[in-house]
Structure 1
Amino acid sequence: MRRPIPQRERGAALLAVLILVAITGAIAAASLEKLRLSRMVAANVVALDQARHSAIGAEQLGMLIVNDLVVQDRTKTTLAGDWNGGVRRVPMPGGGAVEARLRDGGNCFNVNSVVQGEPDNLVRRGSGVDQFVALMMLRGVPEPDARRIAEAAADWADTDTIAGPGGAEDSAYASGPQPFRTANTLFADVSELRVLPAMRPEHFARVRPWLCALPVAELSPINVNTLLPGQALLLSALVQGRLSEEAARRVLAMRPAAGWNNAVEFWRTGMLRGLPIPLDVQQQPQVRTDWFVIDVRSNLGESEFFETALVDARFQPVRLAQRRWAREGDEMMTRGAN
């Protein structure tokens, strides 16, 4: 005998089925969404991996070009062939392209020039500190701040723990909210300058396009045969402001069509003749490029990959010294001075 269903319980089974269907649908939707996200992540990983390999391929092509430049003339490097700053674009199958730009990697202020010596015995280099101060002042950094930054940079890289006049060692950084110690070795990247006393964000923004961190404790190996008019500031800083930026630009305009053959010819040009220049600075300008930079942008579909490679041309064949992955708009990809 069937028990009569009370009025208040009628439709409960249907409601239970509907709730079950709703829960099952929600679970299915969540599973499909996770599957969609997983597929997107996998596709992005594959695309990024393809972009990375494309960038490395462009890097290898750039190194071949550098090798050809070096072999073409082992005594000097000039702007012949319009290689400096030129962008080469290679379309890729399926859409997208890889763009590569080759430029002189030594035409910048080497922040590691504030010290000299061997890696285990680095000491302050006065001429490098003075050039750094001159560069910052030419870019509008007040002299007191510029001097503090340059001296702190020397203390950051030297191997001792004794602060120089106006510099800063471990004790200056240990009292902060996030205590740390000085590197006591060469700068790996110019971004390390951000932590130095007196280095304000606006100071860093002004000087960053002119800086580099070559893996050597040497005065900036500026090649006067490839220095562009827009980089005349570097020449002015090299002589520690004894030559205005406009005067330095005029000196570059007097460059022979085939370039200077040696530093002696360069120092005899225009207003450079007779300037009181220290001996180590007299030997600083180069007529041959030893460091090249390859900027690569790989754009495949919706994936973009950026790479900056530093090439050491002091050896034959040339070799990769550093590789850095960067963001879009990174200053090394868009350096206006070049």
Structure 2
Amino acid sequence: MRHWLVRKFADRREEGTALLTAILMTAFMAVIAVSLIDQTRFALFRTANMDRRDQAYWYAMGARDFSESILLRSGSADRLVMRPQEPWLTGPRQFAIEGGQLRGHVRDGNNCLNVNALAGNAGAAPEAPGRGLDMRSTQLMFSALLDRLGVAPDRIEPLKAQIIDWIDANTFQEAGGAEDQTYLGFEPPLRAANQPMVELEELRVLPVVTPGLYARISPYLCVRDERTQPPLNVNTLQPDQAVLLSALFGGGLSVGDAEAVLLQRPPTGYEAATELFDHPLIAALEPDLALRDAVTVRTQWFDIEVEVELGETAFSLSERVELTQDGRLRRHAQRFGAVQ
């Protein structure tokens, strides 16, 4: 009797152990299953995001190629004059795409002030007639531009000096400028680039530049590979860019008068850039003959900007291209960005 009771108790204990083991195994398998489901869900989500990003990338590349084809037609070698009605001058354009939208914008890259020209080739003249301004003339235009934009006089010269110090190869500090000894005190420390700017955003690191100042001046500034100021295209300048034309004449031409000159431009534009100097408001200034090289009717530089929104993915592309005299397009810089 006693042995039977012991055996019965042992059997029940084994049954309890087996049940507990089964419960633990079930719980363990459930945890593994949930983990696998989460990993699968994450993998599917990541794959979908990568697909959208790739699709947005190719949309952007297609828009870029389309923009380049328009520029090639407008700037073919046999077309010496670009008109105010050029198809790429229509401003930002927006297109609906499946699951989102695409925006594209082509800007005339000549119609801005090249900050790299402020520390140009030691004041050397432009390489050829019609190629723009030398260093000294660009510095005068820069000062006039900032003055017309309402920048405080006590900031204009320091900003110019700090740009020159950032770009030039020497370590001599201009009056009001900033060289390595200034930037080494930053957190984190850095050094002056001592080379031409690659992106306009480099201005943000200069001590004198505040977010407000950058927002005010950046729409009229640019970065170009050449160390001279490219000539303004008098056929593609827009009325809201009249301040550039005013600055070109050292401020002797008011912004209002510069806007009037642009609004009174012939409907099909000027056949030659020098026709601008026949306008009464310009002729009255008796401008230096050298300024005739500072205007053109054929653009050399262009900025292409593309933005794609696809679902929760945003993709951007910006490109700087050069249109050569023989009608070819040369890519100088591209920048991509994606946000999910």
AA matched with 1:101: H
3-state SS in 2 of match to 1:241: coil
Q: Please say if 1:208 is aligned against 2:232.
A: no
Report the equivalent of 1:177: 187
Alignment partners' CA distance in 1, 2:225 and 2:237: 21
- How many residues are matched? 322
Distance verdict in 2 for CA 1:178–1:96, change over 3 Å: closer
AA matched with 2:54: D
**Percentage identity across paired residues of the two chains:** 34
AA matched with 1:26: V
Question: Greater helix percent: which structure?
Answer: 2
Deviations 1:93-112 (A, max 9, x none): x5445443333122122221
Deviations 1:11-69 (A, max 9, x none): 67655544443343233212221221122212222221222122112212211111110
Report the equivalent of 2:130: none
AA matched with 2:106: L
Deviating more after overlay: 274-283 vs 310-319: 274-283
Distance verdict in 2 for CA 1:78–1:15, change over 3 Å: same
Q: Structure 2: which 5+ residue stretches go unaligned?
A: 1-5, 123-133
2:331 aligned to which of 300, 320, 338: 320
Instruction: Give 1:189 shift.
Output: 0.5
Q: How does 1:172-251 map to 2 (within 5 A)?
A: 172-251=182-261
Instruction: Give 1:137 shift.
Output: 2.9
1:51 aligned to which of 42, 56, 70: 56
Alpha-carbon RMSD across the aligned residues, in angstroms, is 2.9
Relative to the length of structure 1, the TM-score reads 0.84
Does the aligned pair in 2 maintain the 1:115–1:158 contact within 8 Å?
yes
1:265 aligned to which of 250, 262, 275: 275
In our comparison, the structure showing a higher alpha carbon Rg is: 2
1:153 aligned to which of 152, 155, 163: 163
Q: Please say if 1:39 is aligned against 2:44.
A: yes
Instruction: Give 1:199 shift.
Output: 0.7
3-state SS in 2 of match to 1:185: coil
Q: Please say if 1:109 is aligned against 2:113.
A: yes
Alignment partners' CA distance in 1, 2:203 and 2:95: 36
Q: Structure 1: which 5+ residue stretches go unaligned?
A: 119-123, 329-338
Deviations 1:213-244 (A, max 9, x none): 12211114321110111111221222232222
Does the aligned pair in 2 maintain the 1:99–1:296 contact within 8 Å?
yes
Distance verdict in 2 for CA 1:225–1:19, change over 3 Å: same
Report the equivalent of 2:129: none
Report the equivalent of 1:290: 300
Alignment partners' CA distance in 2, 1:313 and 1:287: 13
Distance verdict in 2 for CA 1:165–1:246, change over 3 Å: same
